[in-house]
Amino acid sequence: MKCVARQLASSVVCGLLFWAGGVAAQGPVCSEADAEALQWLARTVKSRSEVAYQGVVTLQRGDDMQVVQVARSLADGYSSEHLTRLTGQGAQVVRPHHPLNCTHPGEQLLTLGDRVEAGDCGLARYYRFEVGPGERIAGRQSVKLEIQPRDMYRYGFLLELDQDTALMLRASTLGRGGKILERFQFADLSYDEPLEPRSGMDTVHPAAHPHPDDPTAGARLSVPWIVSWLPNGFTATDAADPEGPRRTYTDGLAVFSVFLEQLPRELRPGEGLARLGSSLSYTRGMHLADQPVLVTVIGEVPVNTARMVADSIRVAR
């Protein structure tokens, strides 16, 4: 893994991004609650390299509930994680051997706790935070972060973190009017040495590890394209191949991906929408450089974000 060098490089990139954003902002807006919440979020990210655990998590989306087992272990500067579906499909996702010093752009956006005093409010420019005592979850006392978006381009969240370890015990995604779109929470949690991944699963998927600075090799289109508009605060998760079919963006809490397909024939222009919990699939038939294309935005963002992003796709010049 070359992630150490990579990480340095991408820190520089991110630093520039933050600096540019800081110029645009109209002075610091962070309240005490914002600063406290940002520190909690930074601790949550840090806990990834400090806390080993295993537990059972429920994921609720509307009437649908899934149960998964998750575990993380730490050794010799690496973490190993796995997620095993206990309901429905017999599938497992594993991420063995991830360097602890490898942080991705989304994590970097969340680890701004120590910069707040310097007037950089980071995420507090896009979200309003409240911090308060949370409930007991999976037998652990929690701290509750209420997170309200400051614009229409992202959802709100209710995050409850372990008071001692900052591990995220429960996360609810809130749509308009505080409606819960998705909620995951630990039903059972222990900080003992984690289980080995279960054997005998039908499907075992090793999670990909895209480098922030390395375009992923894969299919290429004949037209280089750009997304010319993003909601404030969103940044690319990895360097985009200008002719690659995918882009992914994050503001640290929300993530969405844009996929472009070139169609061999004309498709009637139009748009379609499918939702599953907080996840959205927005598909749009349109033209790019006089060629018919299908744009799909997948992610945990409201539909107006997806529509405006799709609307902003242009040929790269």
Footprint (CB under 8 A) of another protein, residues 227-246? 237-238, 246
* Cβ neighbours of 43 (radius 10 Å): 19
d(CA 157, CA 173): 5
Using CA of residue 4, residue 6, residue 80, residue 254, what is the dihedral sign? positive
Site residues for another protein, 1-40, by CB under 8 A, read none
Contact region with another protein (CB under 8 A), list: 1-9, 24-32, 219-227, 295-303: 295-303
d(CA 38, CA 29): 13
Question: Which residue of 7, 34, 80, 81 would you call a contact of another protein, by CB under 8 A?
Answer: 81
d(CA 311, CA 317): 17
Number of residues that bind another protein (CB under 8 A): 87
Question: Which residue of 75, 114, 139, 203 would you call a contact of another protein, by CB under 8 A?
Answer: 203
Show the site string, 159-178: x = touches another protein by CB under 8 A, - = not.
x--------x--x----x--
Contact region with another protein (CB under 8 A), list: 11-19, 20-28, 81-89, 188-196: 81-89
Q: Tell me how far, at minimum, the Cβ of 31 lies from another protein, in Å.
A: 21
Question: Which residue of 56, 74, 286, 288 would you call a contact of another protein, by CB under 8 A?
Answer: 286
Question: Which residue of 30, 38, 104, 140 would you call a contact of another protein, by CB under 8 A?
Answer: 104
List, edge to edge, every strand of the sheet that includes 91-99: 127-137, 140-149, 156-162, 168-174, 180-190, 53-61, 64-75, 78-85, 91-99, 203-206
Cβ closest to another protein, residue 101 vs residue 203: 203
- Supply angle C-alpha 116, 9, 220, rounded to 5: 115
Cβ closest to another protein, residue 44 vs residue 142: 44
Question: Which residue of 37, 38, 45, 112 would you call a contact of another protein, by CB under 8 A?
Answer: 45
| DSSP string for 36-96 | HHHHHHHHHHHHTTT--EEEEEEEEETTEEEEEEEEEEEETTEEEEEEEE-SSS-EEEEEE
d(CA 279, CA 47): 26
Cβ closest to another protein, residue 30 vs residue 161: 161
Amino acid in the structure at residue 270:
G
Amino acid in the structure at residue 16:
L
Cβ closest to another protein, residue 191 vs residue 259: 259
Q: Tell me how far, at minimum, the Cβ of 129 lies from another protein, in Å.
A: 14
- Using CB under 8 A as the binding rule, whether residue 68 contacts another protein is answered as yes
Contact region with another protein (CB under 8 A), list: 6-14, 28-36, 150-158, 191-199: 150-158
Strands (E), 125-194: 127-137, 140-149, 156-162, 168-174, 180-190
- Using CB under 8 A as the binding rule, whether residue 85 contacts another protein is answered as yes
Q: Tell me how far, at minimum, the Cβ of 264 lies from another protein, in Å.
A: 5
- Using CB under 8 A as the binding rule, whether residue 82 contacts another protein is answered as yes
d(CA 257, CA 9): 23
